[in-house]
Amino acid sequence: MKRKLIAGNWKMNGSLAANEALVAQLLAEACVVSCDAALCVPAPYLAQVRALLGEDSPFSLGAQNVSQHENGAFTGDVSATMLKDFGVRYVIVGHSERRLHQGESDTHVAIKVRRALAEGITPIVCVGESLAEREGGMTELVVKRQLASVIHLNGHCISEIVVAYEPIWAIGTGKTATPQQAQDVHAVLRAQLKAASDHADRIPILYGGSMNAANAADLLAQPDIDGGLIGGASLKAPDFLTILKAAS
């Protein structure tokens, strides 16, 4: 069976003191974790969390965004090369919060994926529909359009990506997709990846959206759910550890 991947998305949360406490609690229990795991932290804390994790940590370091540009006059942007300098292994790309608040388009997302892959960083590509789109029967159309753009620009390299299905209506709302709702969309995404790559079976498809200690096991039991992208629950060590154990 494929190893599951659990990635925590700290979003814009944390402080030097809070990060230190959280990472210490995670590392204290890390021996029970046998899935792949990552912490996607705010850019200013990459160096701190890298140092806290140390060598041979069970947790890989992740970032939450990468510039679509290589370098130059892009004030405030952080390039894939810079992330690489800090030992970043994963980067979240196309999170719905960035699509919504920063106006990131499918094309921006596809270019960011290319930048990350060029530096050997694994992009966690987020796709997902709004509530109105789900209620309008558009879910499949929306997620396939979002993923198609990434496939189109990145060709056979997509076997190196991670996909995260994150229904927008489930993010931070406490409203989780049922295991069957999530599995149905994951199966659609798997089929789309299979049509584009001979190695689609090894592409992890994560579920994200109010995954927590109570519902993780049922979601992770679905055949096409290869792990989770965890927001709120990744900030509480006991909850995150329970999810990691469910995936192990």
Residue 69: Cβ within 10 Å count: 14
x/- site string to ligand PEP, residues 156 to 185, per CB under 6 A? ----------x----xx-------------
Q: Which residue is nearest to ligand PEP (CB)?
A: 231
Is residue 166 flagged as an active site residue?
yes
Which amino acid is present at 158?
I
196 vs 220, beta carbon nearer ligand PEP: 220
Among 187, 122, 132, which Cα is nearest to 161's? 122
Residues 186-245 that bind ligand PEP (CB under 6 A): 208-211, 229-233
119 is catalytic: no
Instruction: Pull the structure tokens for residue 25.
Output: 């609690």
**DSSP result, 82-126:** HHHHTT--EEEES-HHHHHHS---HHHHHHHHHHHHHTTPEEEEE
Residues 6 or more apart in contact with residue 103 via CB below 8 angstroms: none
The DSSP element (H or E) to which 164 belongs, if any, is: strand 162-165
Task: Exactly one of 97, 129, 133, 166 is catalytic; name it.
Answer: 166
Contacts (CB under 6 A) with ligand PEP, residues 10-69: 11
CB of 233 to ligand PEP, least distance (A): 6
User: Least distance in Å: CB of 65 to ligand PEP?
Assistant: 12
- Minimum distance from CB of 240 to ligand PEP (Å)? 10
**Site for ligand PEP, rule CB under 6 A:** 9, 11, 166, 171-172, 208-211, 229-233
- As annotated, the active-site residues are 95, 166
